[in-house]
A and B are shown apart, each in its own frame.
Chain A
């Protein structure tokens, strides 16, 4: 299988601009990095941020959490345009004077740029202060229609409506980053993300 079929999008800069050199080598037109598959070791050789040559696992590279042999963390920042709504409070829903449940009261919709780091989710709105959610402070993760939702520590729910990319892909990306962040912090393996993150 040609390497470009394995990493069709640059794992480091996120650009959908991979160029096939040959079956084992692929380059990114956007960031000019060159990836070389080493099938006998199941790894990929790539040039690190500081110019050193690193060897990383394919899965780690795609998940953005590859730890290089020299100790450098290769954590590409993945970014996308998004609309974010933060709900901190909840309202009761009653019917025939009986409480039937609670729903979150969502705040205003903020459009801006959402970026996923190895340890946090950042959101820079077009106007207003930036928002940050550390991955270690996420209590639950789910998708709702075309949105990814997280429940941060302190309650409430944050809805990211992903524009121009797949919410499914983003759910997987955020999941893998949370999984890796929790593992690195010694919290164990996550077995469930919903209704709350549960570890083994």
Chain B
């Protein structure tokens, strides 16, 4: 039996298939692959824009990725057979699933790369959603390197609300530098560290996914406007808003 850190035969078979299928839909550009630790346990935390995200990651990353997958994906007999063979394990999202937490911690102890989507579900609008507190508690409890992953572009290719994918877009996948949290064995310590962990992780995901840059472009910094020194005399037209300085000076 292969070591848990080694990819299974089915993982090896599915990797090029996933690469081929995703590659047919979207041009993928990866940055920061060197940030993925070459060995040892690590938690991969990507933002979730599309159904293509896990295929993109598992199809390209050099180490096998164990994905926390919603339990409804295991509903059909075929997927219940296939998904564990491609390193996925189920999580019941409608309750606190202690078993999935145990599986994550066990796989991290074995030195695996475990992928958890901290938003808990795909985004409806492509923007980063609130991070689940349960995931943050898990990060603080595990105390392994956390690699934030920003995915940008898969939402345009196949958003959650679309029935079919659209071709012609480029997806950027950026792996950030590993962040170290904890480990916090004590529950009170974990609770105290939650807000800071959320802030750090959220900022990292916003930067890596390009969302922070988009927000900066959409709302440029407010530049204070110099107040006119005197009120124009009656009959003198004030410069139009938006008129250039030379226009105003000419008048």
Contacts and interface: CB of A to CB of B under 8 A. Distances in A.
Interface residues of A, number: 28
A151 B94 contact: yes
B94 A101 contact: no
Contacts of B103: 100-101
Main secondary structure of the interface of A (DSSP, over half): strand
Contacts of A103: 71-72, 74-75, 80, 90, 92
Contacts, number: 83
Contacts of A100: 84, 89-90, 103
Interface string A32-70: 000000000000000000000000000000000000000
A95 B84 contact: yes
Nearest to A157: B94
Interface in B35-86: 70-72, 74-75, 80, 84-85
Nearest to A100: B89
B100 interface: yes
B207 interface: no
B70 A144 contact: yes
Contacts of A143: 121
A99 B99 contact: yes
Interface in B77-130: 80, 84-85, 89-97, 99-100, 103, 120-121, 124
Contacts of B132: 194-195
Contacts of A157: 92, 94
A143 B95 CA distance: 14
Contacts of A166: 161
A121 to B, nearest CB: 15
Given A192-B133, A195-B94, A195-B134, A102 B89 contact: no
B69 to A, nearest CB: 9
Contact of B90 (A93, A144, A150, A195): A93
11 contacts: A95-B85, A102-B90, A102-B99, A103-B90, A103-B92, A104-B92, A145-B160, A159-B72, A168-B124, A195-B94, A195-B96
Given A90-B92, A95-B84, A195-B94, 5 more contacts: A96-B1, A99-B99, A100-B89, A101-B71, A159-B72
Interface of B: 1, 70-72, 74-75, 80, 84-85, 89-97, 99-100, 103, 120-121, 124, 132-134, 160-161
